A = this chain, B = another copy of it.
Amino acid sequence: MSTEPAAPRFAPRGSTAAIEEGNRLAPKFDADGLLTAVAVDADDGTVLMVAHMNAQALALTIETGQAHYFSRSRQKLWKKGEESGHVQTLVELRVDCDQDAVVMRVRMADLPGGLPGAACHTGHRSCFFRSVPLGAAPTPDLTLTVNEPGKLFDPAAVYAAPKKTDIPHF
């Protein structure tokens, strides 16, 4: 488990102009104390995962340069890779106009055998491994297409206790 810093200190929210056009970090956390965090591959731009951060997760991400999240299902701070080894090292962190979302350009640790790192607990490189057909109103029979070649790792071999509640759940 990561060491916990002192209570995170961000700038006050201030005016809309200051938030949207200024140079201070004044993040907007929602009613649950969370903002949205998107991790993309720093090299090819693939969106790897979307998750959430509370103030502490955001502060630890900034301080350590490694992605930390807050798991809504487990209601706990979570350093990506603390169980799987699939750490995400930040190349860049960006914040959006109203400061309720961040984008991290990350590099993931390689898997054993030299396979590229995988962000998804299912074993796929990206959580977004399925696409939705466009052009007609959705129905329950709409069929998703799997876009990736397959799993890069076996979740059962990586997560010590492959129970639903122990698996990082974005």
Residue numbers of A with Cβ under 8 A of B are 5-6, 8-12, 16, 20-25, 36, 38, 40, 44-47, 49-50, 58-59, 62-63, 65, 90, 92-98, 100-103, 120-122, 124, 127-147, 164, 169-170
Contact = CB atoms under 8 A, between A and B. Distances in A.
Given A24-B143, A63-B135, 17 more contacts: A9-B138, A9-B139, A23-B146, A25-B132, A25-B142, A40-B40, A40-B45, A45-B46, A62-B132, A92-B131, A93-B131, A93-B134, A95-B130, A96-B120, A96-B127, A97-B170, A101-B127
Nearest to A35: B50
Nearest to A132: B93
B93 A50 contact: no
